[in-house]
Amino acid sequence: MVKKQKKEKNLYNFDYESKEEKKLRAKKLKEKKAGEKSASKKNKKVKANEKQGQAVKKKNYDDEIIIGVTRIPEKEKVKNEKKKAEKKKNNLVKQNKENNKIVRAKQKNEDYTQKIKKNNYRVSNQNNENSKLKKRNKILKLTILLFIVIGTIVFAMLSPLFNIKKIDVKGNSLITKEEIVSLSGIYLDENIFRTNKYKAINNIKQNTYINEVEINKKLPNTIEINVVERIPKYMLEYGNGYVYINNQGYMLEISSIKKELPILTGTLTLKEDYKAGNRLNDEDLAKLGTVNKIMKEAKNREIADLITSIDITNSNNYILNLQTEQKTVYLGDCSYIETRMGLVQKILSLEKGVKGEIFVNRDVNKYDPYFRESV
């Protein structure tokens, strides 16, 4: 301020000024100095207040003792803040790294998925191509095979190599070979593949003596016919002749010739049904089952050939006629058939040559059999 005043003094120091002008200038200078002084005081006061405020703000509480709060030195505090800042920074870096890893992994997965899709697409296309190729090859193979089969069939149907040269018949004893071959409708020099064996089987079965038929084609030119015949076991009286039947009740033939077979009497099958190929009715078939058991036991005891007829009128009392022995046997309901036939055999041996009747028709567990001689 002093320097400024000197400069101003030198600046305004004019010799030509009058006294009034000097007074006026001195007055203005005084007023100016007073204003500057007042302004200086105000500036000092403001600066003092600012310093005081800064002092309040910068007041050190390090030496203050606050109950319940531990005093932390300024350096340690700064250090802790730095640690926190570094930790936060490290966490941010770590988080960024994790995020980057996730982003890279996601991108890698997306790339891998895209790659797999592309590979799958390529594989799918390749598989489709392979499938089409396989299908074409399969069709080609089937076509070739079809032509081969057709060619083989045509050759087999036309070649004289497969013409029938021999027909064998096996299993026959009652029907002649010629009759069976004639029934079959199969002829020599006929193509073996053109023969209908199922039709031939049905033709052969038209003979009532034939129970089962099997036909085999033996390449290149042989036919084999195997038959199972029905064997006549009993006879039915029919007018002046007889109807031969097997053990299953099938009527095999009507003939005037009397065979050495037992005659069944007392049947319920109608006479008009006595035809070759027909069968006994159900009631007679049930009784026939018992007759088969009787004949089986008689055969086991070697007396079957002695039985000339069997009366099946009463299912509770079957009657056997032994004509050569001149005896009639009353068997009852044929329960315990083995025991009853054993008793019949014993009485026959004891009463040989004696005409009479044998009774084994009572309960064999309570009553003894007996023989009654005819007078």
Give the pLDDT of residue 12. 44
Residue 279 to residues 172, 236, 355, Cα–Cα distance (Å)? 22, 12, 36
Going from the C-alpha of 68 to that of each of 62, 65, 81, the distances in angstroms are: 15, 9, 21
Last residue of a domain, one of 184, 212, 229: 229
Compute how many other C-beta atoms are within 10 angstroms of the C-beta atom of residue 244: 23
Specify whether 221 is located in the same domain as 244.
Answer: no
Q: Give the chain's end-to-end CA distance (angstroms, integer).
A: 195
Q: Domain for residue 188, yes or no?
A: yes
Q: Identify whether residues 200 and 330 lie together within a single domain.
A: no
Structural domain contains residue 251:
yes
Residues 173 and 290 in one domain: no
Percent pLDDT > 70 in the chain is 83
Question: Residues 162-191: pLDDT tens digits?
Answer: 999 999 999 999 999 999 999 999 999 999
Residue 217 has pLDDT above 90, yes or no: yes
Residue whose tokens read 């009652």: 174
For residue 154, give both structure tokens. 């045509």
pLDDT at res. 3: 44
207 and 243 together in one domain? no
Give the domain extent around 353: 234-373
Residue 333 covered by a domain: yes
Query: Is 50 among the domain residues?
Result: no
Q: Give me the residue label for tokens 């009657």.
A: 319
Question: Both 211 and 299 in a single domain?
Answer: no
pLDDT-derived band at 81 (thresholds 50, 70, 90) equals confident
pLDDT score recorded for residue 338: 95
**Is residue 320, in this structure, part of any structural domain at all?**
yes
Over the stretch 240-258, which tens digit does the pLDDT of each residue have? 999 999 999 999 999 999 9
* Percent of residues in the chain assigned helix, strand, coil, to nearest 5: 50, 15, 30
Q: Is residue 244 part of a domain?
A: yes
For 91-127, the pLDDT digits (tens) are: 777 777 777 778 777 777 777 777 777 777 676 777 7
pLDDT at 52: 59
Residue 223 lies in a domain: yes
Residue with tokens 């086991």: 300
Domain boundary among 210, 229, 248: 229
Overall domain count for the chain: 2
pTM: 0.61
Nearest 5°: the CA angle 228, 231, 235 is: 155
